[in-house]
Chain A
Amino acid sequence: MFIKKREIILTINKIIFSSLDIREVYQTMGKELLKVIDFDRMSVTLISENNNLYETFVLSKDYGYTDLKEGVLYPMEGSLMKRVVQFREPVLVDDTSKGRFLTDAVLFKENIRSRLGFPLDYKGRIIGSVNFGSKRKDYYTRKHIDFLSQIAPQLAMAIENTRLFNKIKEAEKKYRTVIENSPDIIFECMKDGNFSLMSPSVEGITGYPLHEFYDNRGYGLALCHPEDQERVHHEILQVLQGVNRNLMNLEFRIIHKQGQIVWLSLEILPIIQENTIIGIEGFCRNITERKRLEELKDILIRDVTHELKTPVAKIEMALDMFQRSVLAGNKGMPERGYQINKILRNNIRRLKNIIKNILDISKLESGTESLKLSDISLVELVKTSVNELKDTADQKENILLYQIPSDIPIIKADRDKILHLITHLVDNAIKFTERGKINISARKLPDTVELTIEDTGRGLDEGVQKRVFEKFYKEIPSAYGSGIGLAICKNIVQMHKGNIWVESEGKGKGSRFKFILPIKS
């Protein structure tokens, strides 16, 4: 018996350190205890935190049927458990048929005749009890109690350790989930440059596998853009050396495995242990998209500024040219005069055009502009535009054609706006076509009419096709034009509940601007 007891204690000690799965702990415990205490039913009950309920883990020799469900919380009142806790003493039931406890009746029905409940004391607190049941009456005696009093502290420790470990594991799991699903890079880095934590999102952001960050010291810094490396290193050192208490929103570039630049924003805090900074923790957010938008905004402002200032600058320069010519006794006149006149007219027209476009688009976008609907004939509007633009097309040696089939119905629309729309699209086609052909065609679809302006000019690649209707967008920033014309067209079509788009096989392959308008408004 003595040797057995020592063996069991050793085994249970082993359980404490080897297994942290609570069920496995109970099972091993049951198996070991069976060597020294005979039972038909063994259970471990644990008291819930508020002391009113207990949870049972049943372990029968035969795992036969029982009403006591594992993992269910039972009320303490009237149970053997309550007595064990109250008196901090083992409780014996010699015969369940004469039972004092509510649970005795349940167990009697399941053929358990005698019971022993032993308190599990962990550091002076009763955490629950270990219970044995036998089919024989009067089975458990003082002998069993003596034995259990030696082994119970070990059992209590094993159970409590497992419980605590599982709680920590649960908390850690939650924390892991946050880290593993974070779109930002969450990390901890020790003073020697080794990462003690790195979230998997780093793979998507940098293109490099997670393990490389753990395997290589200072790996994050090595990915920095050469121009930013020194600055980032310096700022991190300031925190590590305690010069700065933290680092907020440090924006820098790294080079992705595929070669592209990724913009990151970094925040770090020192990890302090016993008043010493041992490392840093922080997170890094991918701000590439924001940076790209900022850059686009800057380009937009630059292009609009350029477009507004250029004609004004040229008007001033033409006037300066005129003045010098007058001072020089009109040398070179009248040729010089014609030239100056032409430049002035050109640029004043350009300026007026920009102003008109800006006013038009702001009126359209404000939503205050209403449609003046009337019956309109697309054939008539196409003819009007073609007449207006024939000379411009001729100047660039372009052939301007149109074919409108007779079945194109009269539609309800705003005449001035649709005329503006067609004229702008045709004018645009001429602008980007040299010695080519511009063809205007139409067809009737079930509920709409479709107009196509096709040219053999410059064409647009896919990226440009997507952006061409954006306000102020110009493929070539220095090109003549406000970059608003097509945005106005889009607005006009949308006001009519239609649709506008562009098709092109690519650069140099011409383009087809198409729009559809509903037949019934």
Chain B
Amino acid sequence: MKELLIVEDDSEMQEFYKDMLQGEQFTVTLASNADDGLKKIKENTYDMVILDILMEGVTGDRLFALLRKDSRYRNVPVIMASVLEEKAYRCFQALGNISFLEKPFNKERLLSEITKRLDNSK
């Protein structure tokens, strides 16, 4: 089972993730803000992190930059999810091993994005 960490401050969005990933081959952990997310990343090993961008406090893009600066998490596959268009965050692509997922998305789209990112980072 792959370990997924989802950092998302919107409780309704959390429900969608849970619903879509239920019964799939993943163990899902939820964090409701970037600080909580970072704490969990330090405590456990995750195969992938899904990040919301606009969150209260530290934003998802800043958390991503923090991860890429730390040698321990430099290679963790990341998916950034947002209602905003991908182009606003294209600059992060250079930091590597990242995909964008535009909200709204359905179950198929989410699963294919996760699989693709996991396959690419093998």
Contacts and interface: CB of A to CB of B under 8 A. Distances in A.
A317 B104 contact: yes
Interface in A341-366: 343, 346-347
A306 B60 CA distance: 14
B54 interface: yes
Contacts, number: 53
Contact of A320 (B10, B56, B106): B106
Interface residues of B, number: 20
A302 B104 CA distance: 17
Contacts of A347: 12
B16 interface: yes
A34 interface: no
Interface stretch (A44-52, A210-218, A380-388, A476-484): A476-484
Contacts of A305: 83-84
A333 to B, nearest CB: 13
Contacts of B19: 321, 324
A303 B107 CA distance: 26
Contacts of B24: none
B104 A343 contact: no
B52 to A, nearest CB: 8
B106 to A, nearest CB: 5
Overall SS of chain A's interface: helix
A339 interface: yes
Contacts of B83: 305-306, 309-310, 313
B113 interface: no
B9 interface: yes
B15 interface: yes
Interface string A281-304: 000000000000000000000110
B94 interface: no
B103 A479 contact: no
A281 B106 CA distance: 59
A476 B106 contact: no
B56 A478 contact: yes
A379 to B, nearest CB: 37
Interface in B11-33: 12-13, 15-16, 19
A283 B88 CA distance: 32
A479 B56 CA distance: 7
B56 A313 contact: no
A314 B104 contact: yes
Contacts of A324: 19, 107
B55 interface: yes
A316 interface: yes
Interface residues on A, range: 20 to 34
B16 A317 contact: yes
Given A320-B104, A346-B12, A476 B88 contact: no
Contacts of B82: 306
Interface string A31-66: 000000000000000000000000000000000000
B56 A316 contact: no
Nearest to A343: B12
Contact of B12 (A314, A320, A476, A479): A314
Interface in A315-346: 316-318, 320-321, 324, 339, 343, 346
A347 B15 CA distance: 14
B117 to A, nearest CB: 20
Contact of A477 (B10, B12, B54, B107): B54
A314 B83 CA distance: 10
A316 B13 CA distance: 12
B86 to A, nearest CB: 13
A316 B104 contact: yes
Contacts of B52: 478
A317 B107 CA distance: 9
Given A477-B54, A478-B54, A306 B15 contact: no
B16 A321 contact: yes
A36 B70 CA distance: 91
A439 B3 CA distance: 48
Contact of B104 (A313, A339, A346, A478): A313
21 contacts: A305-B84, A306-B54, A306-B82, A306-B84, A309-B83, A312-B104, A313-B103, A314-B12, A314-B104, A316-B104, A317-B103, A318-B16, A321-B19, A324-B19, A343-B12, A477-B54, A478-B10, A478-B52, A478-B54, A478-B55, A478-B56
Interface of A: 302-303, 305-306, 309-310, 312-314, 316-318, 320-321, 324, 339, 343, 346-347, 476-479
Given A309-B103, A314-B16, 5 more contacts: A302-B88, A303-B54, A317-B106, A324-B107, A479-B56
Interface of B: 9-10, 12-13, 15-16, 19, 52, 54-56, 82-84, 88, 103-107
Pairs A-B, 3 closest by C-beta atoms: A313-B104, A309-B83, A478-B54
